[in-house]
């Protein structure tokens, strides 16, 4: 049973436009949501996060929106740049267990920014 | 600043062989994790260690064992490799902070024939 789902395997966006990546979850106990970016042959790197008590968090070109009633979050990238082309993973955090941060990941969305 | 270092980066095994993936972090983090990534499946947690001396099962622990050797090192062992364990394995570490990020290594690509 997939607790975190990214239903779009791929997304293609024109450079300079807005990229919107979506993520749905089923477990209402998740307390944080994170987005990771992954380039080929590298490990995932942290992008931005949001607490379950917030509905928006912004960091430069990246904004994450959380709709708890719909169990849905989205990542907005404005403006999109060629270097943003990567696979983006949505992740949800179970509350800390003995201090460990257990993340449940979605399947990933491959974002391609076209010049 | 190395962060999280995994070895080896690539390995090919035959069914039934054993091997150990090594992971070390230099950020003085308490918690360490092993994930596997398969196409269309995202990353799935195999085992984690909340602190030195403790280990716990994640989502997909069958066929694996782990050792938290000290605060820096966390190894993953395949005792009898199976083709279903062909995957990319990622080690990660984190601090004791709710919502804090995990720092990942570059990954180890394992093929079991």
Q: Is the pLDDT reported for residue A100 higher than 90?
A: no
Rounded to the nearest integer, the mean pLDDT of chain B is 94
Q: Provide, as residue numbers in chain B, all residues whose Cβ is less than 8 Å from the Cβ of A92.
A: none
Minimal Cα distance from B36: which residue of A?
A105
Report the alpha-carbon distance of residue A110 to residue B20 in Å, rounded. Answer: 31
CA dihedral B85, A26, A6, A15 (to 10 degrees): -140
Say how many CA atoms lie within 13 Å of A45 toward its Cβ: 9
Subunit contact B99:A98, Cβ cutoff 8 A: no
Distance from C-alpha of B49 to C-alpha of A13, rounded to nearest angstrom: 39
Mean pLDDT of A80-88: 97
What one-character DSSP code corresponds to residue A71? T
CA distance A44 to A66: 22
Determine if residue A98 is left, alpha or beta; phi over 0 gives left, psi from -120 to 50 gives alpha, anything else beta: left
**For residues B96 and B51, what is the distance between their CA atoms, to the nearest angstrom?**
9
Q: How confident is the model at residue B1 (pLDDT cuts 50, 70, 90)?
A: low
Confidence of residue B20 (pLDDT cuts 50, 70, 90): very high
Q: In degrees rounded to 5, what are phi and psi of residue B84?
A: -65, -10
In chain B, the residue whose alpha carbon lies closest to the alpha carbon of A46 is B101
Predicted pLDDT at A94: 83
Q: Which residues have a Cβ under 8 Å from the Cβ of B104 and sit 6 or more positions away?
A: A43, A44, A45, B4, B35, B90, B91, B92
**Mean per-residue pLDDT for A22-51?**
95
Residue A4 has pLDDT above 90, yes or no: yes
The residues on A that touch B, with CB distances below 8 Å, are: 4, 6, 9, 31-32, 34, 41-46, 49, 51, 89, 91, 93, 95-108
Question: Measured between CB atoms, which of B45, B51, B104 is closest to A102?
Answer: B45
Provide the shortest C-alpha distance from residue A97 to chain B (in Å).
8
Q: What digits encode the pLDDT tens for the residues B48-71?
A: 999 998 999 999 999 999 999 899
A105 pLDDT higher than 90: yes
pLDDT score, position A61: 98
pLDDT value for B40: 82
B40 touching A (Cβ < 8 Å): yes
The residue-averaged pLDDT of A38-57 equals 96
Going through chain A in order, the beta strands assigned E by DSSP cover 4-5, 10-14, 19-25, 32-38, 45-51, 56-59, 62-67, 72-77, 86-93, 103-105, 109-114
Q: Looking at beta carbons, which residues of chain A come within 8 Å of B100?
A: 101
CA distances from B79 to B7, B43, B66 (A): 17, 22, 11
Contact between A44 and B31 using a beta-carbon 8 Å cutoff: no
Closest CA to B33 of B104, B101, B81, B98: B104
């Amino acid at each position: 049973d997939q607790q975190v789902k990214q239903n779009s395997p791929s997304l293609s966006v024109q450079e300079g436009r807005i990229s919107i990546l979506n993520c749905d979850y089923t477990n209402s106990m998740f307390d944080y949501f994170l987005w990771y970016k992954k380039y080929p042959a590298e490990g995932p790197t942290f992008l931005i996060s949001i607490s379950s008590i917030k509905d928006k968090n912004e960091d430069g070109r990246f904004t994450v929106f959380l709709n708890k009633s719909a169990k849905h979050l989205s990542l907005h990238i404005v403006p999109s740049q060629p270097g943003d082309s990567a696979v983006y993973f949505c992740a949800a955090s179970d509350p800390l267990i003995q201090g460990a941060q257990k993340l449940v990941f979605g399947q990933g969305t491959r974002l391609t920014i076209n010049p | 600043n190395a962060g999280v270092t995994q070895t080896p980066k690539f390995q090919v095994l035959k069914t039934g062989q054993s091997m150990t993936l090594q992971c070390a972090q230099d950020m003085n983090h308490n918690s360490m994790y092993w994930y596997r990534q398969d196409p269309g499946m995202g990353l799935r947690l195999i085992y984690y260690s909340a602190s030195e001396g403790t280990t716990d099962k994640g989502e997909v622990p069958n066929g694996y064992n782990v050792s938290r050797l000290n605060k820096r090192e966390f190894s993953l062992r395949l005792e009898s490799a199976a083709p279903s364990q062909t995957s990319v394995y990622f080690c990660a570490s984190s601090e004791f902070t709710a919502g804090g990020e995990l720092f990942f290594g570059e990954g180890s690509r394992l093929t079991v024939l």
